[in-house]
Amino acid sequence: MASITIRNLDDDLKRRLRVRAAKNGRSMEAEAREILRVALAPAGAPRNLGQSIHDKFAALGGVDLLPVQREPGRAVGGHE
The per-residue pLDDT string of the chain (80 residues; one tens digit each, 9 = 90 and over) reads: 899 999 999 999 999 999 999 999 999 999 999 999 988 887 776 678 888 888 888 878 777 778 888 888 887 776 55
Beta-carbon contacts of residue 76 (< 8 Å; ≥ 6 apart) = none
What span, in angstroms and rounded, lies between the C-alpha atoms of 17 and 32? 8
In eight-state DSSP terms, residue 68 is P
> What predicted TM-score, i.e. pTM, was given to this entire model?
0.54
- Give, in order, the Cα–Cα distances in Å from 33 to each of 39, 46, 65: 10, 19, 32
DSSP states of 10-74: -HHHHHHHHHHHHHTT--HHHHHHHHHHHHTSPTT----HHHHHHHHHGGGT--PPPPPP--PPP
